[in-house]
């Protein structure tokens, strides 16, 4: 889960407010960056050459007392808040007081004080189990400990505070070896929040008391992370503000899903606990499949009934299950659950299979050393790339869903090569569609390819914009190596010059 949360944060798209100059070691970024709050420039030393230009998103007020910052390496960073204000004329203010924070020793991964690192701040993060009384119980997943020299620490990364987002605690402190454990207690808030993940099919799997609830759209299948955020006492007030921030929607009311409505790409939905029963959930569903023709309402073996509509807030209080709708429950089958032992099975309407594979230049799909996920699903709706009796290959991840007993032993359906050449990482592959994602907060653009098995719904091969993905069906329509060269150069420079 920690890996998933980190991955999810990498894909965050900054809310557009104004544009900033963007460069790395004098090389211009391929695409301008948009900022929610600030542009910045970093110089190698005061009055020295420019190292970076870009965007920074934070709800903290940086202009009042922290317009310019420095660190022990001599890097100086200043922020501004207007259109391309960090251009060539932008400079360090003559009256800026540049005070270097003290340097401290920190634990570096383990608790051996001889294995330390130097930094202005010590960091600590770990996945935890949080019980109903707010107690933090360690898991067997290793804690991360280290150092940081960042000139600016935004919002949830502020100094001398801890935050819990979902079930991950993160801390930053500025005294020697303060990262042995979580440095500051995080109390329960007084807001009751739903907790769920894309892996639970948008069905809330628990409730927690926190300072803020959040809703985070996570992927092209219309799934969401629902969770909550709590911070330690003394944390900046900005960390408890409700409202939209990056792709997060924070709210401060009990059991808030999305207080001002959600934006549907195609459908609104309502889910009832059973036919003529209480309302369980309302929200948005994005799919390119036509659901209204023969799938306006669906049910599953648990009795949940979901119906969709496609006009403004059509799933309001007056929305009901049509009296003439026929609700047929799909057969329940046994599926492999994790391993290939048939006695270790799960029940579901569908079996699922996903894993990372290795692709060669001839389109062969070879096994990788990473574990395979096998399990069951009871989704009332299966969106696009999660369609039944289909396998998809997106970059090097293969995902399948099938509806016969134990059909998830291996990939259920062969995936042929497409006839479109796409750029992915540092190679080119034949696929059905190329795609690229919006540029992230570091100015990087993810590019890749999608291939589907024979017999898959035609919607899976449609070009156009779909949630965060832009799909296209012409050779190299998602770019090529020259467009990604800047990303590779930036990564090399950052690995050498910045922690």
- Name residues of the chain where pLDDT drops below 70: 1-17, 30-36, 59, 65, 130-136, 138, 140, 151-157, 196-206, 217-224, 244-247, 255-265, 286, 288-289, 294, 361-364, 380-386, 425-426, 438-444, 465-468, 480-499
Q: Which long-range contacts (CB under 8 A, 24 or more apart) does 302-306 make?
A: 302/378, 303/273, 303/274, 303/275, 303/277, 304/203, 304/271, 304/272, 304/273, 304/274, 304/280, 304/380, 305/271, 305/272, 305/274, 305/275, 305/277, 305/380, 306/269, 306/270, 306/271, 306/272, 306/380, 306/381
Element containing residue 38 per DSSP (H, E):
strand 38-43
Q: How far apart are CA 306 and CA 280, in angstroms?
A: 10
144-148 vs 206-210, strand pairing mode: unpaired
CA atoms within 13 A on the CB side of 20: 30
Question: How many CB atoms lie under 10 A from the CB of residue 50?
Answer: 17
Neighbouring residues of 273: CB distance < 8 A, sequence distance ≥ 6: 279, 280, 303, 304
Residue 443's closest CA among 13, 77, 26? 13
Is CATH 2.30.30 correct for 416-499?
no
Compute φ and ψ for 313, nearest 5 degrees. 50, 40
pLDDT of residue 105: 92
Q: How far apart are CA 140 and CA 157, in angstroms?
A: 24
CB 279 within 8 A of CB 294: no
Classify the phi-psi angles of 288: left when phi > 0, otherwise alpha if psi is within -120 to 50, otherwise beta: alpha
CATH no. of 14-100: 2.10.60
Residue 40's closest CA among 89, 90, 74, 75? 90
Give the residue extent of every domain in the chain: 14-100, 104-173, 191-251, 330-414, 416-499
pTM above 0.75, yes or no: no
DSSP annotation of 467: T
CB 21 within 8 A of CB 231: no
What DSSP assignment string belongs to 422-457?
EEETTEEEEESEEEEPPP-TTS---EEEEEE-TT--
Neighbouring residues of 93: CB distance < 8 A, sequence distance ≥ 6: 67, 68, 78
Classify the phi-psi angles of 476: left when phi > 0, otherwise alpha if psi is within -120 to 50, otherwise beta: left
243-285 confidence digits (pLDDT tens) = 766 667 788 877 654 444 555 567 888 888 887 778 877 877 7
pLDDT of residue 178: 92
CA 468 to chain CA centroid, nearest Å: 11
pLDDT of residue 454: 86
**Burial of 304 by CB count in 10 Å (0-12 exposed, 13-18 middle, 19+ buried)?**
buried
pLDDT of residue 386: 59
CATH no. of 330-414: 2.10.60
Helix, strand, or coil (residue 43): strand
144-154 confidence digits (pLDDT tens) = 899 988 766 55
């Amino acid at each position: 889960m920690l890996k998933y949360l980190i991955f999810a944060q990498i894909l965050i798209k900054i809310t557009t407010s104004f544009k900033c100059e963007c460069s790395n070691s004098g090389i211009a970024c391929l695409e301008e960056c948009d900022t929610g709050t600030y542009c910045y420039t970093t110089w190698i030393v005061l009055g020295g050459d420019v190292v970076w230009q870009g965007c920074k998103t934070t709800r903290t007020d940086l202009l009042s007392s922290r317009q310019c910052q420095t660190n022990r390496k001599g890097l100086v960073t200043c922020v501004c808040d207007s259109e391309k204000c960090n251009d060539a004329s932008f400079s360090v203010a003559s009256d800026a007081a540049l005070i270097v924070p003290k340097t401290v020793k920190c634990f570096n991964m383990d608790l051996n004080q001889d294995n330390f690192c130097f930094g202005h701040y010590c960091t600590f993060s770990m996945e935890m189990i949080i019980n109903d009384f707010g107690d933090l119980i360690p898991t067997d997943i290793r804690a991360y400990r280290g150092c940081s020299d960042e000139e600016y620490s935004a919002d949830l990364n502020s100094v001398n505070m801890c935050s819990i987002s979902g079930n991950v605690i993160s801390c930053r402190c500025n005294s020697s070896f303060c990262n042995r454990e979580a440095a500051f207690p995080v109390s329960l808030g007084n807001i009751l929040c739903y907790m769920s993940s894309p892996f639970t099919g948008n069905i809330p799997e628990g409730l927690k008391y926190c300072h803020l609830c959040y809703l985070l759209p996570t992927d092209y299948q219309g799934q969401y992370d629902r969770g909550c955020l709590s911070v330690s006492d003394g944390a900046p007030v900005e960390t408890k503000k409700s409202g939209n921030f990056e792709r997060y929607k924070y709210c401060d009311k009990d059991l808030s899903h999305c207080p001002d409505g959600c934006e549907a790409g195609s459908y609104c939905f309502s889910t009832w606990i059973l036919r003529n029963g209480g309302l369980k959930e309302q929200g948005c569903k994005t799919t390119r499949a036509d659901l209204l023709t023969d799938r306006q309402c669906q049910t599953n073996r648990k009795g949940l009934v979901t119906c969709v509509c496609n006009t403004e807030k059509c799933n309001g209080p007056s929305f009901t299950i049509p009296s003439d709708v026929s609700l047929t429950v799909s057969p329940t089958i046994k599926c492999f659950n994790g391993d290939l032992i048939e006695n270790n099975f799960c029940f579901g309407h569908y079996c699922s299979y996903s894993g990372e594979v290795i692709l060669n230049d001839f389109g062969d799909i070879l096994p990788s050393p990473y574990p395979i996920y096998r399990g069951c699903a009871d989704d009332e709706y299966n969106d696009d790339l999660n369609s039944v009796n289909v396998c998809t290959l997106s970059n090097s991840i293969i995902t399948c869903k099938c509806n016969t007993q134990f059909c998830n032993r291996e990939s259920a359906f062969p995936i042929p090569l497409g006839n479109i050449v796409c750029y992915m990482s540092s190679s080119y592959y034949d696929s059905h569609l190329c795609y690229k994602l919006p540029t992230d907060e570091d100015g990087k653009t993810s590019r890749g390819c999608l291939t589907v098995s024979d017999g898959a719904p035609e919607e899976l091969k449609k070009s156009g914009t779909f949630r965060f993905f832009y799909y296209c069906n012409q050779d190299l329509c998602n770019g090529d190596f020259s467009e990604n060269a800047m990303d590779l150069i930036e990564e090399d420079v950052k690995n050498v010059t910045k922690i």
